[in-house]
Amino acid sequence: MDRHFSSTPRSSPEKVAPLACARCGSASPERLYATTPEGPACEQCLLDAKKQIAGFAANPYEMFVESLAAALDLREHETGLHSKRVAVHTVLLARQLYSKADDLRGIYWGSLLHDLGKIGVPDSILLKHGRLSAAEWAIMREHPEHGYRILERIPELAVASKIVLYHEERYDGSGYPHGLKGDAIPLPARLFAVIDTLDAMTFDRPYRRAVPFDDAKAEVMKMSGKQFDPRVIEAFLEAEPALREIASLEHHSSRDLAGGQNGFPVGKGSGVP
C-alpha cells in the first residue's frame, strides 16, 4: 500500500529488556511480540505457526521468497516482517474461499512479493515522507507492472504474479494500473487489498501511528462495495479472530512497565517506523 503523506518527526521509545519468546527464546527488542495462550510469541514464530494452518507443504523456494520479501521491507523501512505478515494474513483470509494447498501457496507467494516492482522506484521517491508530485506518482504507479514483468515467465508464480500486478486495483474501478472493476480483478488480489489496508492501519507508519483493530475494521467495512469486494468483506468477518491476533503484535517499550499485562503493552503505537 502506498504511504506518501505529510509527516512530522517522532522520537523512538526507550528500549527495555523484553520477555523472551516462549517458542524460540528470542528476546530481541527489534522484534514484535504478542501474548498467546502458550506465552509470549515473537512475530516470526507467530507467523510461522499461523502459516502451518494453510496446510501447504514446505517448498525449497519458499525461504528464498521470504528472504527476498524481507529485503524489500528493509529497504522501505517497514514495521517488523511486513510482507510476511500480510502474506500470512491473506492466506488466513483466503482459506474462507479456497481449499487447495497449491492455490493458497500461490496466494502466499504473491502477497509476499506484492511490492517487488518497487525495486525500480528511486529512493528519493520511495522513501519520501512528504506528498509526491504528479511526476513522482506516475513513477510510483508503475511498480505493479514492473513486478509482474519480473515474475510472469515463471509458471510456478502464475497466481503470485497476478497479485503483484493487480494489488492496487479497487473494486469500484478507481485503482491502478488498469482501472479494473469488480470481478475483473482476480480474487486473490481482491483478498490481498483488504489485508494490505488492514496492516497499514494497525501497524505504525512513518506518517502516523497505528489505530486499534476495531477502528481499522470499521474503516474496512465502510469501504465494502467501493474499495473492497463485499464477498471478501464477508470472508474477513469469518477470519477475524486469527487476523486480530496477528494485529496485536507490538514492540516492547517502556510502556510495558506501566500497565501492560505479562510485559506487553496495553495499546498501539510503538513509535518505531
Domain boundaries in the chain?
60-248
Cα–Cα dist 165/20, whole Å: 39
The continuous run of DSSP H or E covering 34 comes out as strand 32-36
Residue 213: half-sphere exposure toward Cβ, Cα within 13 Å? 15
Strand partners, 35: 40
Tell me, what DSSP letter sits at residue 228?
A: B
Q: What is the pLDDT of residue 211?
A: 92
Residue with cell 494489488: 167
State the sign of the Cα–Cα–Cα–Cα dihedral 44, 3, 172, 138. negative
Phi (first) and psi of residue 42, to 5 degrees: -75, 165
Cα–Cα dist 168/145, whole Å: 11
Contacts of 8 (CB under 8 A, 6+ apart): none
Cα–Cα dist 90/81, whole Å: 14
Cα–Cα dist 249/18, whole Å: 13
> Does residue 177 have a cis bond before it (omega within 30 degrees)?
yes
Q: What is the pLDDT of residue 251?
A: 59
Q: Among candidates 188, 137, 198, which has minimal Cα distance to 166? A: 188
Q: In what order do the strands lie in the sheet with 250-251?
A: 39-42, 32-36, 250-251
Q: What is the pLDDT of residue 268?
A: 37
CATH architecture label of 60-248 = Orthogonal Bundle (1.10)
Q: Average pLDDT by consecutive 10-residue portion of the chain (273 residues)?
A: 44 51 88 87 90 78 89 82 93 95 94 96 91 95 97 93 98 97 98 96 81 95 97 96 84 39 34 28
Q: What is the pLDDT of residue 185?
A: 98
Q: Are 232 and 190 in contact (CB under 8 A)?
A: yes
The cell for 173 is: 474501478
Q: What is the pLDDT of residue 79?
A: 65
pTM of the model: 0.82
